[in-house]
Amino acid sequence: FYNLATQVDTLDQSKTYLLFCERGVMSKMQALYLREKGFTNVKVYRP
């Protein structure tokens, strides 16, 4: 989560981001964080 928080300003908001983690908890939290920062194309992959 720290890496995302420190580099969020370098990400292109027009791109789609697909987040994945083993259990889905962290990816959901990071997706929420990105949405709060104004990202609209954020998806969470759940196998």
Round to whole Å and give the CA distance between 38 and 44.
16
CB 34 within 8 A of CB 8: yes
Diameter of the chain by CA atoms? Answer: 29
Catalytic residues: 21
